[in-house]
Amino acid sequence: MCGIAGFCSFKENYTSRSAKWQDTLANMKNSIKHRGPDEDGYMLAEHVGFAHARLSIIDLANGKQPMSRKIGNRLYTIIYNGELYNTSELREDLELKGWRFQTTSDTEVILVGIIEYGNEFVKELNGIFAFAIWDSDNETLSLFRDRLGIKPLFYTLRDGVCVFGSELKVLFEYPGIRPVIDRGGLCEVFGIGPARTYGNGVFKDCSEVLPGYYNVYNRDGMKTSQYWKLVSRPHTDSYEETIEKTAFLVKDSIIRQMVSDIPICTFLSGGVDSSIVTAVCADELAKRGEQLNTFSFDFAGNDEYFKANDFQPSRDRPYVDMMVEHFHTNHTYLECDNIKLADALYKAVDAKDLPGMADVDSSLLHFCSEVKKFNKVTLTGECADEIFGGYPWFHSKEAFEAHAFPWSRNIEPRKQLLKDDLLDILQLEDYINNTYETSVAETPKLPFDSPEEGRRREIAYLNIKWFMATLLDRMDRTSMFSGLEARVPLADHRILDYVWNVPWDIKCRDGVVKQLLRESARGLLPDEVLYRRKSPYPKTYNPHYEGILASRLGEILKDSSSPINKLVDKKKVADFLAAPSDYGKPWFGQLMAGPQMIAYLLQINYWLDKYKIELAI
């Protein structure tokens, strides 16, 4: 896994002032050095510049980038961030076509495949990726992103220049590009956030390559092409056949994603999803006489302060202990205290370049930094809830009937702290409704879907396009900030393609949440774990943490130079801080309640200040 960055302009001859542009490339690379601390690489040509920061996982000795291949007078160059899980099959096909390889890296397979088959070769890739290819003969820059957007790729077009990179911060290293937030950006932060409209980079004129797309930039401008999308089809497999196929796809994906020239580990929460991933990995490594490293996370004080509620019915530790004993993993229990959690709120903004899921982000960022001390590659259980229907809102009458994003139905908490004149400018309800209705209208349905099944598809589509994307963003930035590669085998597109069309009475047979996934894993896990009621990623219930946040926000509001004072009403915030917090009524997802609203405001203030953001409203 790596970081990529670059620029392209047909009005500029970058080689005529090579020192300046080499410095620019170095600055771009340095801004994302955390993504790839092992090795650097650059390429500067007349109309294009590439920079690469490498995290060495496959072919440690020969996988250096940028990587080029010359065919006659035509030079192709690639920079790549990702992992390919069907490398051997693709290499065999290309070798039959007469190609010979100098490395064992997936990077070279992708480059040669694009040369042989063109950009549509991306349809053959099973993996997580964002990459750029420069074709010198056609003077064409192509930008590719994986089907589910697991790896990020942002860009901006400004005055005939295309600037791109793995993270938003890269764009602002190019001369003349400044971070500006207009009305749309503020609506994203206060109305949609910590989610983000797909394709929207929040900053003015900043975009991202959409999941399942590639963009081509040449002298005619930018053209986008979709190479993958969800397709609704009739499901004809029996219940037993569906379980069998799901079991194969899940296990095959996990085993494929164990590929690495260095040891792997897993995140083990004790929930069904991470336990399935851990079980398969532990069994596969045991066949080689190796032991799997596993890691679980919790917070100081939760022994005393944990409060069970509808979203978090139980603690994780007993189930983690069962898994460790059953699979004999080399387990590490990681814990985060209040101060580290609060301090990491700001690092989480550094990682994401945007305010995020408050301490849900900052805690994962802290834990990833600890895991990196032991391993550089981890597999996680992310995305099963979106694909298999695990969240409460898949089963909620209120979510079915609401004209709203199901994880964020009540927008009043978002509005209650903002200045009245700002609310008049933003018109948050209109912005939210427009984005919601646009996504719902995209939902692929079958003409014979019942109204209930059609609504289930809408909720599933919203989760995949929005909520899952938010969690994948979180996982990428928090892990890569410490140079840790996090893989998500349950988000294999083959699993999604298949399960998308499985009827609800199979996915949740007999009303059991994620019954299809559980049945597909029968025999892998202890039954106590396999049929455990869902409990999401942990958060702290320590009231001292909320006290720290409130104190810090109070100090910020007292400082007239704090940029958030332009946006929030001090009296409204004071009243909010004085009111008791309700941990069981989140305003986003399942975890973000009162304390997380305070933390979100702290992140917004830090973000505005650090990036010296110009407000254009």
Please state whether the peptide bond connecting residue 263 to the residue before it is cis, i.e. omega within 30 degrees of 0.
Answer: no
* Measured distance CA(266)–CA(82) in Å, rounded: 18
- The one-letter amino acid code at 261 reads D
pLDDT at residue number 509: 94
Do 319 and 273 form a contact (C-beta atoms < 8 A)? Answer: no
| Distances in whole angstroms, Cα of residue 103 to Cα of each of 115, 152, 501 | 16, 25, 39
Measured in whole angstroms, how far is the alpha carbon of residue 486 from the centre of its chain?
Answer: 10
HEC secondary structure over 31-42: HCHHHCCCEEEE
Q: What is the pLDDT of residues 498-551, one digit of tens each?
A: 999 999 999 999 999 999 999 999 999 999 999 988 766 777 878 889 999 999
List the catalytic residues: 2
Which letter, b or e, does each residue of 242-265 get, where b requires 16 or more Cβ atoms within 10 Å of its Cβ?
A: bbebbbebbbbbbebbbbbeeebb
Q: What angle do CA 342, 467, 270 make, to 5 degrees?
A: 65
DSSP output for 576-613: HHHSPP-TTS-SBTTTBSHHHHHHHHHHHHHHHHHTTP
Q: Give me 551's structure tokens.
A: 């104190």
pLDDT along the chain (617 residues), means of 10: 93 96 98 93 97 78 85 94 96 96 94 97 98 97 98 96 98 98 98 97 98 98 98 97 98 96 94 97 97 93 62 75 97 94 97 96 96 96 96 91 94 93 97 97 95 95 97 97 96 98 95 96 94 76 89 95 96 87 78 92 98 95
Give the number of other Cβ atoms within 10 Å of residue 465's Cβ: 21
How many residues does this entry show for the chain? 617
Give the number of other Cβ atoms within 10 Å of residue 136's Cβ: 17
Which letter, b or e, does each residue of 533-554 get, where b requires 16 or more Cβ atoms within 10 Å of its Cβ?
A: ebbbbbbbbbeebbebbbebbe
Phi first, then psi: give them for residue 293, nearest 5 degrees. Answer: -80, 135
pLDDT at residue number 305: 60
Nearest to 77 by CA among 118, 116, 108, 53: 108
Do 2 and 36 form a contact (C-beta atoms < 8 A)? Answer: yes
DSSP output for 155-179: EEEETTEEEEESSHHHHTTSTT---
Please state whether the peptide bond connecting residue 318 to the residue before it is cis, i.e. omega within 30 degrees of 0.
Answer: no
End-to-end CA distance of the chain: 38
* Measured distance CA(374)–CA(262) in Å, rounded: 11
Q: What is the pLDDT of residues 230-283, one digit of tens each?
A: 999 999 999 999 999 999 999 999 999 999 888 999 999 999 999 999 999 999
Q: Give me 294's structure tokens.
A: 């596993």
pLDDT at residue number 534: 73
Q: Which region, left, alpha or beta, applies to residue 484 given φ > 0 means left and ψ of -120 to 50 means alpha?
A: beta
Measured in whole angstroms, how far is the alpha carbon of residue 310 from the centre of its chain?
Answer: 26
What is the bridge-based pairing of β-strands 485-487 and 293-299? unpaired
pLDDT at residue number 64: 86
